[in-house]
């Protein structure tokens, strides 16, 4: 939302929430109408802004959020503390706007905490609650009279909103932490009458109950038809979300640029360290060491992916619950737009530079298999980080969980410890290591079938001490799987499993909210 303009955000809402039968011109006219109604014409093409990108003011952001809901012309608008984070003047302007919207026939229901008097006097109806129970509901201008009748007198220059809050808090404190004596008597405490109990016995409550009963009877007698939860299809939502994500990615070039720069810089550095490895025993060690660092880099470079779902979690939950799009549409759009440009393209450039600088096998088939393996490892590691971050409540836990999972899998990759020497009760963990499959695949791809120096095994002039046969060397290291495509299949299965876990976590996240 932050890198998009006010008009683009409203257009996004219109594209997803208006029926698919709505023409492009009708959507555009609706967007312009809302912009004009909310007084946003002068900032319509300005970016909303993020923590890194300066955008419109706080009050204008609130109006934009309200506008995204007004796109579908709702009869009732629910707002949760729309003045939070705003200065006093901006808060008044936002509530005045809501007052104007209510005058046009809409019902505006909002929660608010300690509003100033200039805001309070704009309310038509007021609801006060204590521990989930009604303390008062009725006309706002009658609230002071009600409290006066039950023994609470507001001082002449006191803000009514502050007065109500003080009375409710002191009454709750007098009732105790759980309000266990709430129903024992109408007094409730030595401080004064128990507020919820008193209201339930008041004339205002009787009027409210009669009104609600009448509305309920009317609703029960009307024919009930099921309306679709989403106004648009899965494919339409997927397309709109994909376009939005690509726009955000293009306009947030700093992150994607840093990702590519880091991968290219690391490739050059590793390439210089392991430059043109020799065709001897030392060269084989250099090749395996380089492959180990390549697999580690392909995973750790993706740890910042934890930010994707954590940063957008509140927005995703709100928009999904509000009927903007399905969980599946959001999931597939994010996977497509994140994995390809941010995870796959940088790793392809990384591998292309390293492969030829280090001097791996100059064979096109082996080169593309190497690239496929590392790209698949990168995507799988990203999916694992996504699965953790989609469930973690805060970034710290997601970071610790992702780094811990990667380190644990590196331990059983077969590079730091010969897999044959691991105790049986721990040996099964190697099959849960994505690094084990990736390292196994690229090492066998590079060494199997080769001799170092080349042709030394069939030469009578070379001693067996100076000759290293690739397959024999791998066998001594504990490599048991010489079928490289088995490792690719295993990585693919892990990738699918992590992706499914991401989707499930997103659905659970939605239900918990």
Residue-wise pLDDT for 120-147, tens only, equals 999 999 999 888 888 999 999 999 999 9
Predicted pLDDT at 191: 45
pLDDT at 328 over 70: yes
Query: Concatenated DSSP letters for 211-226?
Result: HHHHHHHHHHHSPP-P
Read off the DSSP letter of residue 47: B
Res 240: pLDDT:
93
d(CA 451, CA 463): 13
pTM for the predicted model, two decimal places: 0.81
pLDDT-derived band at 52, boundaries 50, 70, 90: low
Give the model's confidence band at 9: pLDDT under 50 very low, under 70 low, under 90 confident, else very high: very high
Chain segment 37-47, per-residue pLDDT in tens: 888 889 899 88
Distance CA 477, CA 419 (A): 8
- Residue 111 per-residue DSSP state: E
pLDDT at 360 over 50: yes
Total H helices, total E strands in the chain: 21, 6
Residues 66-77, mean pLDDT to the nearest whole number:
88
pLDDT band at 1 (very low <50, low <70, confident <90, very high): low
- In this structure, the chain runs to a length of 513
CA distances 199 to 143, 147, 166, 380, 502, Å, are 12, 10, 17, 59, 47
d(CA 480, CA 476): 10
Strand-pair partners of 452: 468
- Who wins on pLDDT, 466 or 138? 138
Mean pLDDT lowest for which of 93-107, 179-193, 427-441? 179-193
What average pLDDT does the chain have? 84
Distance between CA atoms of residues 303 and 102, nearest Å: 47
pLDDT at position 237, please?
Answer: 94
Q: Which of 1-10, 245-254, 292-301, 451-460 has the lowest mean pLDDT?
A: 451-460
Q: d(Cα 277, Cα 285) in Å, to the nearest integer?
A: 9
Cα–Cα distance measured from residue 169 to residue 178, given in angstroms and rounded to the nearest whole number: 13
Q: In the structure encoding, which two tokens stand for residue 123, read together?
A: 């309310």
Q: 């064979």: which residue's tokens?
A: 363
Is 188's pLDDT higher than 50? no
Q: Among 181-185, 248-252, 415-419, which stretch is predicted with the lowest mean pLDDT?
A: 181-185
Q: Angle, to 10 degrees, between the axis of helix 306-321 and the axis of helix 484-512?
A: 40
Instruction: Work out the average pLDDT over 173-190.
Output: 53
Q: Does the pLDDT of residue 473 top 90, yes or no? A: no
Q: Which residues pair with 76 in a beta bridge?
A: 107
H helices of 18-142, in order, are 24-37, 58-70, 88-103, 117-120
Q: Which residue has the tokens 């939860």?
A: 229
Angle at 435 between CA 432 and CA 438, to 5 degrees: 115
């Amino acid at each position: 939302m932050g890198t998009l303009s006010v008009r683009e955000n409203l257009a996004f809402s219109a594209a997803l929430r208006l029926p698919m039968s709505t023409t492009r011109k009708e959507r555009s006219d609706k967007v312009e109408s809302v912009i004009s109604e909310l007084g946003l014409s002068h900032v319509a093409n300005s970016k909303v802004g993020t923590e890194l990108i300066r955008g419109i003011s706080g009050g204008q952001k609130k109006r934009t959020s309200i506008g995204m809901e007004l796109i579908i012309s709702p009869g009732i608008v629910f707002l949760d503390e729309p003045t939070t984070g705003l200065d006093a003047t901006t808060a008044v302007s936002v509530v005045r706007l809501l007052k104007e919207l209510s005058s046009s026939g809409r019902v505006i229901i909002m929660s608010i905490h300690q509003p100033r008097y200039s805001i309070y006097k704009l309310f038509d109806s007021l609801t006060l609650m204590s521990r989930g129970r009604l303390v008062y509901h009725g006309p706002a201008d009658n609230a002071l009279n009600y409290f006066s009748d039950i023994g609470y007198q507001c001082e002449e220059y006191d803000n009514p909103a502050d007065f109500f809050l003080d009375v409710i808090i002191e009454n709750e404190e007098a009732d105790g932490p759980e309000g266990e004596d709430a129903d024992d008597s109408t007094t409730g405490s030595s401080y004064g009458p128990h507020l919820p109990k008193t209201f339930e016995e008041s004339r205002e409550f009787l009027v409210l109950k009669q009104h609600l009963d009448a509305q309920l009877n009317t609703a029960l007698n009307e024919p009930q038809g099921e309306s679709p939860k989403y106004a648009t299809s899965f494919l339409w939502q997927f397309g709109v979300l994909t376009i939005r994500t690509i726009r955000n990615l293009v306009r947030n070039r700093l992150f994607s640029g840093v990702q590519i720069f880091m991968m290219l810089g690391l490739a050059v550095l590793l390439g210089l360290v392991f430059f043109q490895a020799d065709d001897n025993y030392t060269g084989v060690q250099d090749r395996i060491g380089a492959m180990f660092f390549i697999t580690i880099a392909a995973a750790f470079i993706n740890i910042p992916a934890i930010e994707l779902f954590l940063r957008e979690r509140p927005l995703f939950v709100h928009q999904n619950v509000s009927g903007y799009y399905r969980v599946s549409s959001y999931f597939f759009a994010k996977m497509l737009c994140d994995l390809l440009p941010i995870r796959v393209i940088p790793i392809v450039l990384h591998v292309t530079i390293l492969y030829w600088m280090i001097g791996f096998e100059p064979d096109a088939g082996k080169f593309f298999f190497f690239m496929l393996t590392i790209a698949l490892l990168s995507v799988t590691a990203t999916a694992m980080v996504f699965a953790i971050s989609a469930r973690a409540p805060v970034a710290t836990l997601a970071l610790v969980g992702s780094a811990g999972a990667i380190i644990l899998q590196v331990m059983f990759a077969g590079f730091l410890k010969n897999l044959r020497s691991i105790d049986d009760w721990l040996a099964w963990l190697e099959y849960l290591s994505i690094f084990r499959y990736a390292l196994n695949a690229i090492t066998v791809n590079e060494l199997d079938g080769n001799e170092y120096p080349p042709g030394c095994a069939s030469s009578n002039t070379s001693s067996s001490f100076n000759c290293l046969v690739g397959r024999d060397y791998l066998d001594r290291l504990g490599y048991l799987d010489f079928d490289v495509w088995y490792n690719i299949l295993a990585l693919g299965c892990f990738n699918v499993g992590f992706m499914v876990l991401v989707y499930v976590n997103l659905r659970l996240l939605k239900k918990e909210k």
